[in-house]
Amino acid sequence: MTETVGELIRQSKEQLADTSETPQLDSYLLVSEVLSRSRAWLIAHADESVCSVDQTRVQALIARRHAGEPIAYIRGSQSFWQRDFYVTPDTLIPRPETELLMEITLARFDRQARKVVDLGTGTGALAVSLAAERPEWQILGTDVSADALAVAQKNAEAIPNVSFLQSSWFSDIQGQFDLIISNPPYIRNADPHLEALKFEPARALTGGDDGLDCIRQIINSCHEHLAPRGSILFEHGYDQQEAVVQLLEKSGFTKVEGFSDLQGQPRAVIARSDNLER
């Protein structure tokens, strides 16, 4: 049966009403994806008919969304900071709260040449965005997952000052950095919120019984990789700031400072390496 654009959007919205918090937006995004048209075009051409092949393609995407798959995996992209990033099920979907690490970094560090490493780079959201904002810096993005690194590499096309390396935290990293930045896995293994994140790789999410295993491992192995007066910056869970501050202070870091995101949730900590034993 021939359907119009408007009818397809209306049906898709109805089908997603019980599973998605944003059924209308999702319907527009998925119909846009199949028809390769903007949302404005869909609205202006609501009476235009859609061929049966495209109707079937839309229905297949709506079924995936209905099963709970995040829209970013269905479309294969997610916007972060100033650009769209390819995402696959091998990568965490970049989150808006992680933009806090961008804001802190750009506010604190000027354009002078620096060496920066982004540990657990995933799609490369932080590494690529920083490289684009600071062409004078040399950024290394690392991940334990070769599949995630292939996605990051694709996201970095045409950006010359970012490179990637497969490494479990510092195991294969040489040299020292002025800034170590990381949004590591930090969710507790038994956290009930993990059910809602089941489409994302567990490797990108969980950080042991208290969620802090990765942050501990990075702090314990970073000393020799920080330049004198270097800095380390972490994203962490909303209830982990005090613990992260303590871990950094116990490890000899100074000027340890916490930050909250736009929702007022404690979300990031930065510290300096001035008195570290190496």
Ligand X SMILES: C[S@@+](CC[C@H](N)C(=O)[O-])C[C@H]1O[C@@H](n2cnc3c(N)ncnc32)[C@H](O)[C@@H]1O
Binding site for ligand X (CB under 6 A): 92, 94, 98, 119-123, 125-126, 142-145, 148, 168-169, 183-185, 203-204
What are the residues whose beta carbons fall under 8 Å from the beta carbon of 42, sequence distance 6 or more?
5, 9, 28, 31, 32, 35
Q: Using CB positions, name the residue nearest to ligand X.
A: 120
Rounded Cα gap, residues 251 and 232, in angstroms = 12
Minimum CB distance to ligand X smaller for 105 or for 123: 123
- Please say whether the beta carbons of 219 and 240 come within 8 A: no
Minimum CB distance to ligand X smaller for 23 or for 120: 120
Would you report the helix, strand and coil content of the chain in percent, each value rounded to 5? Answer: 40, 20, 35
Rounded Cα gap, residues 103 and 160, in angstroms = 22
**Nearest distance, CB of residue 90 and ligand X, angstroms:** 8
Minimum CB distance to ligand X smaller for 16 or for 268: 268
**Nearest distance, CB of residue 110 and ligand X, angstroms:** 23
**Nearest distance, CB of residue 204 and ligand X, angstroms:** 4
**Residue count (the chain):** 278
Minimum CB distance to ligand X smaller for 80 or for 253: 80
Rounded Cα gap, residues 158 and 59, in angstroms = 35
**Nearest distance, CB of residue 256 and ligand X, angstroms:** 21
Minimum CB distance to ligand X smaller for 7 or for 213: 213
**Nearest distance, CB of residue 79 and ligand X, angstroms:** 12
